[in-house]
Amino acid sequence: MEDRLGQGVRSAPGAEPADVAASPARLPGDLLVDRRFGRAEITAIRHEVSARVSAAGLGGDRLQGFVLAINEMVTNAVVHAGGHGRLALWLADGSAFCTVTDSGPGIPAEFLAEPGVPAAYQVGGRGIWLAHQLCDEVTVATGPIGTTICLRILLPHHAVRS
């Protein structure tokens, strides 16, 4: 099913049966993290993601950028989408992937267009823009029952060299 913005729509994390929501078999590759979060877990998630992706070989500015992008998506879920969500982090096909899912009202259309540089005076609106700057791929599925954002970054031994 697709919503009016052409983005895919999927069930909210709270609406999934418990056995489906907890099933790591739905994700390809090596699952590193699959957990629900709320405001109190933001810092712990940032440290856990950093440690897991670092152990997979990502380092330096790319590691810090990927962790920052994930932190922004987790923070957006907490601040704008009901205060909690679900994060899954896994390795597949030479990349690290992270999905952040919430059961909020969906992302407004003005934040879904190809993000431009936010105005200096603009309050907020930088999270998705940052994700596009720091990750190799950003995909969004959003609608009235929630949002899933998937971030992907190539691991160093798979990065394209010029």
Q: List, for residues 5-48, the tens digit of each pLDDT value.
A: 344 444 444 444 444 344 444 556 799 999 999 999 999 999 99
Identify the residue with better confidence: 20 or 69: 69
Q: Per residue in 103-117, pLDDT tens?
A: 999 988 877 766 666
* Contacts of residue 27, Cβ cutoff 8 Å, sequence gap at least 6: 34, 88, 90, 92, 97
Q: For residue 19, what pLDDT is reported?
A: 40
CA triple 24-97-161, angle to 5 deg: 145
Q: For residue 42, what pLDDT is reported?
A: 97
CA atoms within 13 A on the CB side of 121: 0
Q: At what angle do helices 127-134 and 60-80 cross, to 10 degrees?
A: 160
Q: Per residue in 125-148, pLDDT tens?
A: 678 888 999 999 999 999 999 999
Q: For residue 159, what pLDDT is reported?
A: 54
Q: Among 99, 100, 107, 101, which Cα is nearest to 143's?
A: 107
Q: What is the 8-class DSSP label of residue 4?
A: T
The DSSP bridge pattern shows strands 95-102 and 137-143 to be unpaired
How far apart CA 112 and CA 48 sit, in angstroms, is 28
**Can you say whether the dihedral through the CA atoms of 138, 25, 38, 80 is positive or negative?**
positive
Q: Among 62, 22, 18, which Cα is nearest to 159's?
A: 62
- Summarize the confidence of residues 94-123 as an average pLDDT: 80
Identify the residue with better confidence: 71 or 109: 71
* 157 φ, ψ (degrees, to nearest 5): -75, -5
Q: For residue 94, what pLDDT is reported?
A: 95
pLDDT at 120 over 80: no
Q: Which of 86-90, 123-127, 147-151 has the lowest mean pLDDT?
A: 123-127
Residue 115: Cβ within 10 Å count: 18
pLDDT at 90 over 80: yes
Contact 87, 70 (CB under 8 A): yes
Q: Copy the structure tokens of residue 142.
A: 């959003």
Identify the residue with better confidence: 20 or 123: 123
Q: What is the pTM of this model?
A: 0.78
